[in-house]
Structure 1
Amino acid sequence: MKQNLTKSRILNLNQLDLSLSLPNDDYQVQMKEYKNKIRDLTFLAKAKNKPILIVFEGWDAAGKGGAIRRFTSEIDPRLFEVHNISAPNTEEIQHHYLWRFWNRIPKVGHIGIFDRSYYGRVLVERVEGFAKESEWARAYEEIFLFEEQLQSFGTIIVKFWLHISSEEQLKRFEDRKNDPLKRWKLTDEDWRNRDKWHLYEEAANEMFQKTDSPKAPWFLVPANDKYFARVMVLEAVTKRLEEELK
């Protein structure tokens, strides 16, 4: 039976039900339905000159890449670009932290997808001490205003946090370590970040509270079950596009 996976949004990681799952048969049916809708909606956004910005944040190994691949699989490849965000390079670090993201925002009728994003300012830079408290504390308002300017331009914004348990992350790390084709994805930094799980969780929850808005909503996705997570992402994007393009 098809469920409305996004009917009520939760903005605290501790309140998510990570036991939620989706049977394979339901997954296949719903993925096909949502992919077809998203393909049509992205063509409509193109016709209406509406940019779309989709932000993916979440734990290491939470399935962001897999969700992005399923989301884009039926979209015209000329209409989207995926930006894999890592540490700023030597030029970028000389500018305001939002500069490199202004240079990547989607043009009219196109889709920009951030795998990690400007929210790193209040996540990794906060937790790891790469930004001073005065810098990350003022970033909430800077980001809010940044997204507000994008909205004024007509950009449709959707933001996701893919959430898994610490135990599920450890299992996925071990699977990667033992798989020669996936071992490259695992770094020493990934292991070290596990020691700061609660600090990242605290930073994320504060981020949701201070940067969620009706026009730039956060969707917290229970992702212990990859099928459930992928369908929820596609459902959320579908509904946002239908709301904004009707």
Structure 2
Amino acid sequence: MKADKFIVSGHPSLASLGDGHHVDQKDYNHKLVALQKTMQSIQQAYLGTREHAVVVLEGWDTAGKGGVIRRLGWTLDPRSFKVHPIAAPSPNEKKEHYLQRFWKRLPEHGQIVVFDRSWYGRVLVERVEGLAKKAEWKRAYREINEFERLLVDDGARIAKVFMHISAEEQLKRFKDRLTDPLKRWKLTYEDFRNRDHRADYENAIEDMLEKTSTDYAPWYLVPANNKNYARLAAFKILIDRLGKGVDLEPKPLDEKTAEAALALFGSLE
């Protein structure tokens, strides 16, 4: 499974993406553990360096963004791994430029930051629901590209993943959440309302992919009808984007720590 197969170029159709492949639980568990270990190595390689990364997760409601984030959180150290779930802007944030609240959440050197939904809300939900004027969301494509270009020029690595599920699979997941008391809290009225506007969202997504998939910050489109397949694909993309050119060999002990360990144990083996 190569990350390149998910990269968006040109103007693809969501409907032509397909469902991906089924991955059985045993195969999934084995592969996920290996990918999590690689992500852990990437995080450790970032520590004490200027490396930093921004992960953008977008997708349909119930597409599985939270499942990917949880499996990242299970393996990464929270001291340098941050997650920002993005909801509607606060009253104060509405008085600012829409990108300002994201500037405040960008990673420091050595950190990996995940945005669960992001600045792309301007050209998705704000466009479809009429929360932004047409002139505002149309110019946002250029603003977003320039914003991401600034981040990359400053040394940030960017991974942008859109998780796509069919309307039929989404309906099934709605029903699963509705009947599961432990998952019912995830389902909101907005989920149903958004589903009523699915065709409008499809048009907005297509425009987003076409206008904001750049050489320096490309979009990766993942078929997510099968959760196991989608999670493995998302991890592979993140590893490729965040780990390219990074030395993943464990760092040696610093001199003082090595001397203290040698004095205590008599050997470093």
Same fold (TM over 0.5): yes
Q: Separation in 2 of the partners of 1:79 and 1:153? A: 19
Which residue of structure 2 lines up, in the alignment, with residue 32 of structure 1? Answer: 33
Given that 1:54 and 1:158 are in contact with CA atoms closer than 8 Å, whether structure 2 keeps it comes out as yes
What amino acid sits opposite 2:5 in the alignment? K
Given that 1:81 and 1:112 are in contact with CA atoms closer than 8 Å, whether structure 2 keeps it comes out as yes
1:162-187 CA distances to partner (integer Å, 9 max, x unpaired)? 11011111111111111111111111
Shift of residue 8, structure 1, vs aligned partner: 5.0
Where in structure 2 are the equivalents of 1:232-243 lying within 5 Å?
232-243=233-244
What amino acid sits opposite 2:118 in the alignment? S
Q: Separation in 1 of the partners of 2:87 and 2:223? A: 24
**Segments ≥4 residues shifted beyond 6 Å:** none
Secondary structure in 2 matching 1:224: coil
Q: Separation in 2 of the partners of 1:103 and 1:5? A: 30
What amino acid sits opposite 2:7 in the alignment? R
Given that 2:20 and 2:224 are in contact with CA atoms closer than 8 Å, whether structure 1 keeps it comes out as no
Shift of residue 30, structure 1, vs aligned partner: 1.1
Given that 2:6 and 2:220 are in contact with CA atoms closer than 8 Å, whether structure 1 keeps it comes out as no
Shift of residue 106, structure 1, vs aligned partner: 0.7
Secondary structure in 2 matching 1:55: strand
Q: Separation in 1 of the partners of 2:245 and 2:160? A: 15
**Runs of 5+ consecutive residues of structure 2 not aligned to the other structure:** 248-269
Q: Does residue 12 of structure 1 match 2:13?
A: yes
Which residue of structure 2 lines up, in the alignment, with residue 218 of structure 1? Answer: 219
Q: Separation in 2 of the partners of 1:51 and 1:98? A: 19
Q: Does residue 181 of structure 1 match 2:182?
A: yes
Q: Does residue 171 of structure 1 match 2:169?
A: no
Shift of residue 6, structure 1, vs aligned partner: 4.0
Secondary structure in 1 matching 2:132: coil
Shift of residue 5, structure 1, vs aligned partner: 5.5
Shift of residue 21, structure 1, vs aligned partner: 1.8
What amino acid sits opposite 2:141 in the alignment? Y
Shift of residue 25, structure 1, vs aligned partner: 2.0
Where in structure 2 are the equivalents of 1:201-212 lying within 5 Å?
201-212=202-213
1:189-220 CA distances to partner (integer Å, 9 max, x unpaired)? 11111111011011011101111122212111
Q: Separation in 1 of the partners of 2:246 and 2:200? A: 38
Given that 1:6 and 1:235 are in contact with CA atoms closer than 8 Å, whether structure 2 keeps it comes out as no
Q: Separation in 2 of the partners of 1:191 and 1:8? A: 28
Which stretch shows the higher mean deviation, 52-61 or 215-224? Answer: 215-224
Which residue of structure 2 lines up, in the alignment, with residue 44 of structure 1? Answer: 45
Q: Separation in 1 of the partners of 2:82 and 2:237? A: 19
Q: Separation in 2 of the partners of 1:187 and 1:120? A: 18
Secondary structure in 2 matching 1:77: coil
Given that 2:162 and 2:220 are in contact with CA atoms closer than 8 Å, whether structure 1 keeps it comes out as yes
Given that 1:58 and 1:161 are in contact with CA atoms closer than 8 Å, whether structure 2 keeps it comes out as yes
Secondary structure in 1 matching 2:7: coil
Q: Separation in 2 of the partners of 1:19 and 1:40? A: 28
What amino acid sits opposite 1:199 in the alignment? D
Q: Separation in 1 of the partners of 2:23 and 2:4? A: 14
Q: Separation in 2 of the partners of 1:55 and 1:244? A: 21
Q: Separation in 2 of the partners of 1:19 and 1:108? A: 35
Please report the TM-score for the alignment, with normalisation by the length of structure 1: 0.95
Shift of residue 102, structure 1, vs aligned partner: 0.4
What is the root-mean-square deviation of aligned Cα atoms in Å? 1.4
1:212-239 CA distances to partner (integer Å, 9 max, x unpaired)? 1222121111111000000001101111
Secondary structure in 2 matching 1:20: coil
Shift of residue 72, structure 1, vs aligned partner: 2.7
Secondary structure in 2 matching 1:112: strand
Given that 1:6 and 1:232 are in contact with CA atoms closer than 8 Å, whether structure 2 keeps it comes out as no
Please report the TM-score for the alignment, with normalisation by the length of structure 2: 0.87
Which residue of structure 1 lines up, in the alignment, with residue 261 of structure 2? Answer: none
Q: Separation in 1 of the partners of 2:56 and 2:14? A: 17
Given that 1:27 and 1:231 are in contact with CA atoms closer than 8 Å, whether structure 2 keeps it comes out as yes
Percent sequence identity over matched residues? Answer: 47
Shift of residue 14, structure 1, vs aligned partner: 2.1
Secondary structure in 1 matching 2:89: coil
Given that 2:160 and 2:220 are in contact with CA atoms closer than 8 Å, whether structure 1 keeps it comes out as yes
